[in-house]
């Protein structure tokens, strides 16, 4: 959580912190949530040390809103995937996702749109990774 981190690093850590907060919003961190966190952390370019640091002290990371709409949508897709990965969508998770959408300058209704598209993609037999990629490309 260095003083001289680039904006991109701060955005990646902020995104990962939001995912951690989503994962624990229902009061527990399920194994499939841990796996998704590890996968997304690697995909967005965080080192294992950075992942561990954010996991151990998420409150140390400040929200850094992405500059582009595409990145905002991409982050929301990841958040909704995290919300849904354990098969149990808690009202606290929905409220958190909607609040984060609003913080990013997006209409909170995007949470439902993304969730509906994700359910549709999974029903078509797409893997969760493929569903996330498909939804991200549709919405951006």
Quick: pLDDT tens for 37-79.
Answer: 999 999 999 999 999 999 999 999 998 999 888 889 889 999 9
Give pTM, 2 decimals. 0.86
The long-range contacts involving 41-46, CB below 8 angstroms and separated by at least 24 positions, are 41/16, 44/12, 44/15, 44/16, 45/12, 46/12, 46/13, 46/16
pLDDT digit string, tens, across residues 79-112: 999 999 888 888 999 999 999 999 999 999 999 9
Question: How many angstroms separate the CA atoms of 87 and 8, rounded?
Answer: 31
**Residue 118 confidence (pLDDT):** 83
**Domains observed in the chain:** 7-139 (1.10.3680.10)
């Amino acid at each position: 959580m260095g003083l001289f981190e680039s904006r991109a690093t701060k955005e990646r850590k902020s995104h990962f912190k939001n995912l951690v907060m989503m994962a624990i919003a229902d009061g527990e961190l399920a194994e499939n949530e841990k796996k998704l966190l590890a996968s997304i952390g690697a995909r967005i370019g965080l080192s294992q040390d950075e992942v561990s640091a954010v996991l151990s002290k998420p409150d140390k990371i400040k929200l850094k809103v992405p500059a582009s709409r595409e990145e905002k949508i991409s982050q929301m897709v990841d958040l909704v995937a995290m919300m849904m990965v354990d098969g149990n969508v808690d009202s606290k998770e929905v409220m958190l996702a909607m609040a984060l959408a609003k913080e990013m300058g997006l209409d909170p209704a995007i949470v439902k749109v993304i969730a509906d598209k994700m359910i549709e993609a999974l029903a078509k037999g797409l893997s969760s990774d493929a569903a996330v990629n498909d939804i991200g490309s549709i919405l951006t």
